[in-house]
Structure 1
């Protein structure tokens, strides 16, 4: 359709005005969808999974207080996560009520804070897309989580402080438990488990990092391992500990080839398959090995936590612990430094100069 050039004082014919209005609405919808897609593309896959889960809980809350169900897409993801339109009409009261509802339902304080942060973030995207007024977003951003002292007081006053199977605290294994756990049978599965446990306990790898390891990540001649840490977007090289080297020598080339996935999955019979272990399989296997030592709910992250705690106790400097653990900030490494029995041990002051 040909449209003449129009000077500001002229108007489009009514039919063409309608066409332009429809086109602008379509363009706005596309831009809103693109904004969410672009922002989500900036985040890691793990972050997106957490956001999806957080917003699914938010959708359950909205349903619980009498609002219509939030639609989901073909993948089962609530549209609050992928589109700006469902955020239209969202209010400060809804978000504040969400915080109170989670406390009543017994969610852990860390989960409450994380989910509120997700809601605040997506509400800000919806505002950029024009679905929420700026003043409402300011109010929603004012719905903060709970500080440590507030959380302690609130937990003391409510009967349920955590729902689900996730543990409130990590297991920190003793050195004796670490030694016993590393001793595995001289079988294909046992040798594989020995490598798995050394990677977690001697190198502090995350579960996902272990699952991604390839046999080619290991350099036997140099005694090193090079691997990618997707959570912090880093490729690092570790010198293998003697125990890890011994476990790899017993396993590589004998039970698995020198190419492909490093850790192969196993059947119930104990025989190895030709496919790599998934994160879920690693989690399940560590839990089973923990039960063998009488430790309930042992996880791969417990072993990483144990590695960091024992390294800190041995006097590892914070900067070295941060680098070896693959953290971007020293804050995480500092969590593993325990308080001294005498609070001012090692503190020097002007009185030492006399």
Structure 2
């Protein structure tokens, strides 16, 4: 299986004779504000620390995350991005049969393959706007021992209500099925706590929650995520992995984030406010194209289908790339065809640039 992701600006820059900084990247679902200035400032101040090992097992950062979520430190595992933790989790759990709600993040399938699991796919129905059919999903539970769900889902940008997912969680617990909920985009929401399954961790021992700091804080080059779950199983994972899986600067960024200084609080407030405004403006502008079916977004990206046109998504992708604009072709997501693509919500001016280019290309 060949894994593809968004954000490959270096390849596109080389291919089209551009500098990376000349590219507007709508393919990667990152905060368009860029990293918090405070994090960049502190990293510059601490460059001499590269001569030392990072703290083993990110102990201090774990304690800050645990305090923030009102958990024990043993219920937190910090990793080199959320994808890193997916592989570590499945290595220890060793599931035999894994169910993945598709289309979704490709690393779930790759991680399941890496541990030799049989993989089943539950395909969301395009005719039903990719809504989650709870009854049909639960009907698969006699055949599996681990389930992946992404919420909000990537690439469809749908948010499934936590009450509905609690129904899935309870049904999974009754069948001794592990439920892994990926909440990488949850913190972009106006009310992330309301839409998280965090409040069910104490009640359900089969629940694992993945969190990413890469997306909201725009630090993919540092790689930082964490996993929440039972102390017993996370302790097993911790014992079976490298002590220094998280580098010093990623730990430093995480510590700044979870100490919640005023600069970080202001950054979060600005991010959520601007995202909500720009997402709605972008969504409404895209809906004006008769050639596009635009799905209602909940996260910081918009899912689209190209229809009623002679163009293909790959042609659109290539033409935009030649103009320094990168979009995410979604044809490699299971359950999708060549007509689907995804756009990150960026700044108002950048969104307007893309709309102007689409007006020329789709007219």
Q: Give the TM-score band, short-chain normalised.
A: under 0.3
Structure number with greater CO (CA < 8 Å, separation at least 6) is: 2
Of Structure 1 and Structure 2, the greater helix share is in 1
Q: Between Structure 1 and Structure 2, whose CA radius of gyration is higher?
A: 1
